[in-house]
Structure 1
């Protein structure tokens, strides 16, 4: 399949990849018709999706199955008045219906707004009005249905509410019976233009109201690099990315690139994360590839891995937050597998990554994706030299790369703040070593300036995380009359170590940081807490910690 989009698909090393990777963009590309239906025509019995849940149920869908189901799903949505360009919110957890829904909406040319089941009524009202949402399709869970129903009096643009079950409230459409009765959707002459939006994703809002990231029809093609050259997938792969479908990480790891390369997507539909349960399904279904945030791997390495058959596991990738080196070392010792980090944003696809051709450097994001023109710029606007901190930017000029977002929906001011003179400013700081590897520092507004030093939160967090008593931590700056700012650590201890919280352990952690990294970076203040404030996508809200310290 990817041969249709890449003149060269195999490379001898990273230099070959950097020099010769080239993506051919067809006219009017549509992922649903060109890829999903393309596989259905070529190999209808090829496995596309293996879904299982924490109740022991499982179902397998071939590409032939998906074509038939999504044609009827698109026909059903069309019968409800959903048309090209309409905004449809999907709150579908990890249900198989998410895949039916997103492909069907792509076939119609409607725009999907993925949403997490953790949204409250207030969150739904904000999103419905910000994006003029026309329809909401969601899991028929009582809590979700209650929040949606409560939001409707203040959501005037919403015309249709659709439940996939098990509960179907009054005035709601029944998805399951609807698609059974529906006539298959007939492909329009022109389903989508390349510039047409197919996804509007609300960011998780670490510092303010969520922004609306707009992604167009050719966005999926940029994920060939994600699946083929980072996750190292092939047609016999069974790949699991641990992510809720309410976030873009789902289309990074559970849809676009994976099906472009012909791999099977594995879905574990669970309500509560349990490390042993993840290991059990990896073993039972012989999953070959796993992608998850570092937090997941932190929990996995605390389990007795010898109890599980992980012999099928070939490759593991890590994203969502920067990787602490001690997690890398422990996982390698237990499994023999090197965790390969990747970096990107909701506004991009994979931009920096550790490819199969290069040696991982624990804690480094890896090397820039040649699909983008990536650089580091200092605050003064010059190119950062080796060892010098700079903001990660993407230069696009007159040649706009697929995968880079098309701006923030209905927010030209914010778009113009981050896209200036042909450059997209990510807001993330990093430094580059002599070998060209990028090392994450933190968000530009998270960097601490103390006694003339610039201290990145991640480097101190990484040092603290090497202490066996620490499960999670967040580093922030606290105002100080003499130094400007001093480093503060907000620390979550392991369950069996919580009783140790106090001045003695604080001093031990401070001394530990001094030994692991430069002594001037050590946290002069340590606060022990039961949990860190986080967004609904699981990102630490350092802004909330800072706000309390500035009161």
Structure 2
């Protein structure tokens, strides 16, 4: 397999392709060094072969280039932990270990093509090995966060019918508690140096198996992975992706949004249980031949993040908006990020004030991206584009994104509508296949010619998209439509507000009004609550349209969240409306 300068073709022999107009270009924010947005859309023209497997057609291709001496950077995975331990694997070493594990899955575990594997591990190298080994064997990996409760695990096992689970000591006791209710579960592998009754030792099995393995010839549309949604608006759904939807579809993330080349080192802080980890910790960077950097970091710690960015040659950094908000509260002047060139965020909208502070402190812009578990990048701000704080950019080359009404009709620019992806006459291959075993919820996602994301937004006259809120989060008060995110943005600019969630609350006069649940910062916890409530309301009236201010404010110690850290507004809203 050889490298080609044609950056937008994916043929039956997938070719690792360099990103950017020039292999030797320097990454800067200067627009003249990057293709125009219109050019990016024209350049994106993928072909999907009948058969495709990411491990064989991409990873093994980079391994071959590495062995031939053509590969610019040989590090595929670079892992560090808080004790200073490091593991660096080349693509050849990644291939060696993953082929061994593939033999374990098909041999010792007797897994067949299409069987499901529940994977619950923190940010350790074994997580990446399992992902690649499942690709090689045609088994379907189901990642889960280590923050899952016993109830969560039982639900995931019972609805997925996973035949194998791979986890560590922290989760194994919960698995043992629910395993008697899961007769279909046949194999349990423990990533630990300790022995546990009923579990096979992952490391021991790996050491005792051959590194010779022939990759399964999977069809492009064959099921590859299942991610459970975060459950912000209901019970988690099993979102199924094919080998091509992520394996080829995430080219748009790696090449255009992350702007990666073979020389880059990407650090994405996403938890291993969520689709963003597949986006930016597996497929997108390795499509481009970049190095995936990982810090074990059991809990997000600003000091660890800043030290890591200043100590390692990380060129590209992607994290959540909440993380940036925490980082800009630190004294960043003590650190030097000499290698850092590109900063990105995704997962939720970012506050413009945070973007400005980060730019002042580091000299670097934050490029926002928007997508879902069900998709690849839906929209983003790409290098060379004007950044509009508060907007998450323009539609990605992968999709025809429109704003539509509830009947699927396109609405005019400037008018609020449902953020939607055109699926007719041809459904994009990079869209999820279905919600597994849930035909009704799958069908409910489509209206007319479009897939509805469930998010509300506005497209301005330049084609930029602005987030309003989840479709069922929008508040209708006295004829006004109010998005919770804008109110939350205003709230968080007040020094007293550590965190907030805004929902609708019933009102006899206005039908419903804005209510804010507010977690106070430590120095304001002892203040008079009535005075503080009035002060916060006055502040919101100043920074946003007065009709949007929260007429009700309840101070709380914490907000209900999903295991991925997203606020469960549905729980708060149901409480307000007497549905819980």
TM-score after normalising by structure 2: 0.92
Query: Which residue of the other structure, out of 20, 25, 37, is the alignment partner of 1:14?
Result: 37
1:68 aligns with 2:91: no
What pairs up with 1:202-351 in 2 under 5 angstroms? 202-219=228-245, 220-351=247-378
Residue aligning to 2:66: 43
- Find 1:32's aligned residue among 55, 68, 72: 55
Instruction: Pick from 423, 427, 444 the counterpart of residue 450 of structure 2.
Output: 423
The Cα offsets for residues 485-533 of structure 1, whole Å up to 9 and x where unpaired, read as: 0101111222233233612121111111111111110111111222211
Structure 2 Cα separation of the partners of residues 283 and 495 of structure 1: 29
The Cα shift of 1:460 comes to 0.9
Q: What is the CA–CA distance in structure 2 between the aligned matches of 1:401 and 1:5, rounded to whole Å?
A: 19
3-state SS of paired residue (1:311): coil
SS at match of 1:257: helix
Contact 1:450–1:484, Cα closer than 8 Å, also in 2: yes
Q: For residues 126-151 of structure 1, give each alpha carbon's deviation from its aligned partner in whole angstroms, at most 9, with x where no partner exists.
A: 1111111000001233xx11111001
Q: Structure 2 residue aligned with 1:387, among 386, 390, 414?
A: 414
Report if aligned partners of 1:2, 1:260 keep a CA contact under 8 Å in 2: no
Map of 1:140 onto structure 2: 169
Q: 1:55 aligns with which of 58, 71, 83?
A: 83
Q: Deviations over 1:32-85 (max 9, x none)?
A: 111111111111471101001122211101001001111111011111201210
CA drift of 1:422 comes to 4.1
| Matching of residue 507 in structure 1 with residue 534 in structure 2 | yes
Q: Label 1:166 to 1:271 Cα distance change in 2 as closer, same or farther (>3 A).
A: farther
Is 1:201 aligned to residue 227 of structure 2?
yes
Q: Structure 1 CA distance, aligned partners of 2:35 and 2:162?
A: 47
Written as runs of structure 1 = structure 2, the 5 A alignment for 1:348-359 is 348-359=375-386
Q: CA-to-partner distance for each residue in 1:230-268, whole Å, 9 max, x for gaps? A: 122221111111111111110111010101111110001
Q: What is the aligned partner in structure 1 of residue 218 from structure 2?
A: 192
Distance 1:501 1:390, change over 3 A: farther
What is aligned with 1:372? 399
Using a 3 Å threshold, how does the CA distance of structure 1 residues 339 and 371 change in structure 2: closer, same or farther? same
Quote the offset at 1:286 in angstroms. Answer: 2.6
Distance of 2:208 and 2:53 partners within structure 1? 26
Per mean C-alpha deviation after superposition, the further-off stretch among 1-10 and 495-504 is 1-10
1:366-411 deviations in whole A, cap 9, x for unaligned? 0001211111102354312122110011112242222200010000
Aligned to 1:465: 492
Q: Is the CA contact 1:469–1:493 (under 8 Å) kept in the aligned structure 2? A: yes
CA–CA distance in 1 between the matches of 2:538 and 2:499?
Answer: 18
Question: What residue in structure 2 maps to residue 539 of structure 1?
Answer: 566
- Equivalent of 2:139, from 110, 126, 129? 110
Once residues 254 and 85 of structure 1 are traced to their aligned partners in structure 2, the CA distance between those partners, rounded to angstroms, is 23
SS in 1 for 2:500: strand
TM-score (norm 1): 0.97
Instruction: Identify which of 531, 545, 554 aligns with 1:527.
Output: 554
Task: Give the deviation of 1:186 after TM superposition.
Answer: 2.5
Structure 2 residue matching 1:441: 3-state secondary structure: strand
Match of 1:412 in 2: 439
In 1, the alpha carbon distance for the partners of 2:218 and 2:406 equals 40
- Distance in 2 between residues matched to 1:495 and 1:281, nearest whole Å: 28
* Cα separation, 2, equivalents of 1:313 and 1:75: 39
Do the aligned partners of residues 26 and 2 (structure 1) sit closer, same or farther apart at CA in structure 2, a change above 3 Å counting?
farther
Q: Is the 8 A contact 1:213 1:409 kept in 2?
A: yes
The residue number in structure 1 matching 2:13 is none
4+ runs of 1 displaced by more than 3 Å? Answer: 1-5, 7-11
Distance 1:480 1:420 in 2: 32
Contact 2:267 2:317 in 1 (8 A): yes
1:478 aligns with 2:480: no
Farther off after superposition, 2-11 or 330-339: 2-11
SS of aligned partner of 2:250: helix
Contact 1:5 1:25 (8 Å CA) reproduced: no
Give the CA deviation at 1:465: 1.9
Change (3 A) 1:416 1:290: same
Give SS of 2:391's match: coil
Distance 2:209 2:318 in 1: 36
The structural deviation recorded for 1:421 is 4.1
Change beyond 3 A, Cα 1:349–1:501:
farther
The reply to whether residue 89 of structure 1 matches residue 91 of structure 2 is no
C-alpha separation between the residues in 2 aligned to 1:240 and 1:139? 23
Unaligned runs of 5+ residues in structure 2 are: 10-16, 22-33, 68-72
Q: Which residue of 2 aligns with 1:436?
A: 463
The answer to whether 1:166 aligns with 2:193 is: yes
- 1:126 pairs with 2:128: no
Measured after TM superposition, the shift of residue 16 of structure 1 is 1.1
Structure 1 residues 129 and 481, CA gap change in structure 2 (3 angstroms): same
Counterparts of 2:523 and 2:253, CA distance in 1: 38
User: Which of 509, 514, 525 is residue 498 of structure 1 equivalent to?
Assistant: 525
SS of residue in 1 equivalent to 2:141: strand
Superposed CA RMSD? 1.6
Candidates 402, 419, 426, aligned match of 1:399:
426
The alpha-carbon deviation at position 470 of structure 1 amounts to 1.9
CA contact (8 A) 2:99 2:133 kept: yes
* Residue in 1 that maps onto 2:27: none
